[in-house]
Amino acid sequence: MGGRTEFFGPVIREPDEPTFHEGWEGRVFGISNFLLPLLGRNTDILRFSFERTPREVYLSSYYRRWLGGFEDLLEQAGYLAPGEVDARVAGQSAPAGRRRVSRARLAATSALVRSVLHRTLPPWFAGQVVPRALGTARPALRRGRFTSGDRVRVRSNRAEPYTRQPGYVTGKPGVIVAHLGATVFPDAIAAGRHALPQHQYTVAFDGADLWGDAAEPGTEVRVDLFESYLEAL
């Protein structure tokens, strides 16, 4: 929802909340570990697919949003035909997607998922190798523009059609409190554009700057933001 205040609502805590409320939610979470590497996609492309689902799907439940996103990605890749899932759920015949997974790719993806999910990895491997091999961490090609203590402002515009810049910090002043290294830039990746890895920072915002007189006294909000979102003050 992009941190936009028009979507804000109460956060309801559920005592003794289960990991999954229904069995199908666990199935959706499980297939996510397989489908993303199979499709050659990352979580930002999946999030972009979430945002393209109809409003009633997006706001219905967390894992229904995931399921809608995966259906969208499978249609884009040709594994599902448009409307195929809805037709089959309704018990109707439907043309099937034309694309099929090769046995070699299926076996390789399955082996990769099993190796990650069923093994205790050494800390150095989990901390240094896995984020680069399976995640989005990448070395930066230049030095970062900011250091801890620098005062910055979040740029006043938000990228389209996808961005990780929250709406409620847009245009607001803050202070850099940590440098998090560099990663691929999700705004570009999700939209199919090439972009160099970007530095990422943790920025602290005073609650009064975000919420005005409605802010709880002494409130501070910390948000991880990419370098191109920020301007020096």
Each residue's pLDDT expressed in tens, for the chain with a length of 233 residues: 656 677 777 778 889 999 999 999 999 998 888 888 777 777 888 888 888 888 888 888 889 999 999 999 899 888 899 888 889 888 988 888 888 878 887 888 788 777 777 667 788 887 777 777 667 888 888 999 999 999 999 999 998 888 999 999 999 999 999 999 999 999 998 888 888 999 999 999 999 999 999 899 999 999 999 999 999 99
Run of H or E including 82: none
pLDDT at 13: 87
pLDDT of residue 51: 86
- Asked if 84 and 95 count as a contact pair (C-beta separation under 8 A), the reply is yes
Q: What is the pLDDT of residue 148?
A: 97
Predicted local confidence at residue 1, as pLDDT: 62
C-alpha dist (Å) from residue 28 to 7, 42, 53, 68, 190: 25, 16, 16, 10, 21
Domains of the chain by range and CATH?
5-100 (1.10.472.20), 151-232 (2.30.30.50)
pLDDT the model gives residue 113? 76
Give the pair of three-digit tokens for residue 126. 């989990």
